[in-house]
Amino acid sequence: MSKLSRAEMLQLLAITDKAELAELYRRAYAVKKQFVGTKVYFRGIVELSNVCKKNCYYCGIRSGNPKVEHFSLTKDEAVKSALWAYEQQYGSVVIQSGERDDAEFVDFIEDIVRTVRAKSNNELGITLSLGEQSEETYKRWFDAGAHRYLLRIESSNRELYAKLHPADHDWDKRVNCIRTLKKLGYQCGTGVMIGLPYQTLEHLVDDIMFFEAEDIDMIGMGPYIPHEDTPLAKALPDYNEEEHLELALKMIAVCRIALQDVNIASTTALQALKDDGREMGLLAGANIIMPNITETKYRGNYQLYKGKPCMDENANQCRGCLETRITSIGEEIGYAQWGDSPHYKG
């Protein structure tokens, strides 16, 4: 049961007074400390390819954006990145890519997962974030050694979802994917974008209720950030970075207070809006950081939104930078540990 009623969640999400905001973050931090502690776990992100068959109205690498220069890592490049993370004692990696479901792609991922598992003595955790797939594909990847999967629902409200996606992007199919992943034994993460056009605070409360109802283990949410080459950019002409950051932080805090023992990521999009946005996310209740470990030469081509940080940095620079940022707020990094969500009961 959620620790907060709908009315309480709504009231907390509506706070604007600075002192009340500080109190909300303090309260969320105390819940985080009690249920998941103050160790931050790293998930190194390998951005495998920006080829995507989908055409989400908000995303910079949508198939309908002719400006995207396509890239795909080779198997060796992907494995090398993942093993770099292993050597750095990151507990796990996330393999993320635009969505493809052709047989060649399914085989390719299976091969990478198996190779990374074997070359890391079965120690490196592997999370996949590769969109909607068939049950058979999810099962093959699970059997190859992936044990977590991230699939954001983007919005738990099907009408809002329909405004953000072309007609053939099916909300029900997405929910069914989440349920299939859980059934197969994956630790399952989902999340939403915060501050979307047409989105209300009630929608965000419903999102938290959705996370609870679907018994979600991990949450990755970030502020919506317009990308100029997308149809949705025009829908919010007076986008306000500060307000978006604040709403995203409130959402993290309310999620932490309501759901207590889940893993919550402090996502890169927070840092796109403010240099210390990810530290602010940790202080508002998040406990996971996903350092970018993609080779610098490909980073510019994986821009889902504008202003993504670390475009010219390499994996090693991000590691040092994040270490400084995290220790500066008095937290510790959980090196060489999976850092499973205590919510996940196997």
Site residues, ligand FES (CB under 6 A): 310, 313, 317-318, 321-322
Q: Where are the alpha helices (DSSP H) in 89-157?
A: 103-119, 135-144
Nearer to ligand SF4, 98 or 309 (CB): 98
Pick from 63, 61, 48: nearest CA to 303: 61
CA distances from 8 to 1, 24, 209, 221, 285 (A): 14, 12, 13, 20, 17
Closest separation between CB of residue 320 and ligand FES, Å? 8
Selected from 44, 91, 125, 131, the binder of ligand SF4 by CB under 6 A is 131
148 contacts 92 by C-beta, under 8 angstroms:
yes
Which residues ranging from 136 to 165 are in contact with ligand 5AD (CB under 6 A)?
A: 152, 154
Of the candidates 45, 146, 269, 283, which one interacts with ligand 5AD according to CB under 6 A? 269
The only residue of 205, 293, 304, 315 in contact with ligand 5AD, by rule CB under 6 A: 304
Query: Between the CA of residue 177 and those of 170, 174, 295, what are the distances in Å?
Result: 11, 5, 30
Q: Quick check: 98 binds ligand SF4 (CB under 6 A)?
A: yes
List the structure tokens of 332.
């510790």
**How far is 337 from 42, CA to CA, in rounded Å?**
9
User: Does residue number 95 form part of the binding site for ligand SF4 (CB under 6 A)?
Assistant: no
Would you say 99 or 214 has its CB closer to ligand SF4? Answer: 99
Q: How many Cβ atoms are within 10 Å of 217's Cβ, its own excluded?
A: 22
CB of 56 to ligand SF4, least distance (A): 3
State how far the Cα of 132 lies from the Cα of 175, in Å rounded to an integer. Answer: 10
Which residues in the 150-189 window bind ligand SF4 by CB under 6 A?
Answer: none
Closest to 158 in 3D by CA, of 133, 141, 175: 175
Q: Give the SS3 label for residue 154.
A: strand
Q: Which of 21, 35, 88, 99 forms a contact with ligand SF4 (CB under 6 A)?
A: 99
Which residue matches tokens 């999009």? Answer: 269
How many angstroms from the chain centroid is the CA of residue 50?
16
Pick the stretch among 169-177, 178-186, 217-225, 313-321 that binds ligand 5AD (CB under 6 A). Answer: 217-225
Contacting residue, 61, 112, 192, 252, with ligand SF4 by CB under 6 A: 61
Residue among 125 and 226 whose Cβ is closer to ligand 5AD: 226
Residue 249 binding target from ligand 5AD, ligand SF4, ligand FES, none, CB below 5 to 8 Å by type: none
Taking CB under 6 A as the rule, does residue 302 contact ligand 5AD?
no
Pairing status of strand 263-266 against strand 218-223: parallel
Interface with ligand SF4 (CB under 6 A), residue total 10
How many Cβ atoms from other residues are within 10 Å of residue 205's Cβ? Answer: 24
Rounded least distance, CB 314 to ligand FES, Å:
9
59 in contact with ligand 5AD (CB under 6 A)? yes
Options 40, 45, 56, 109; binder of ligand SF4; rule CB under 6 A? 56
**Residues in contact with ligand SF4 by the rule CB under 6 A:** 52, 54, 56, 59, 61-62, 98-99, 131, 304
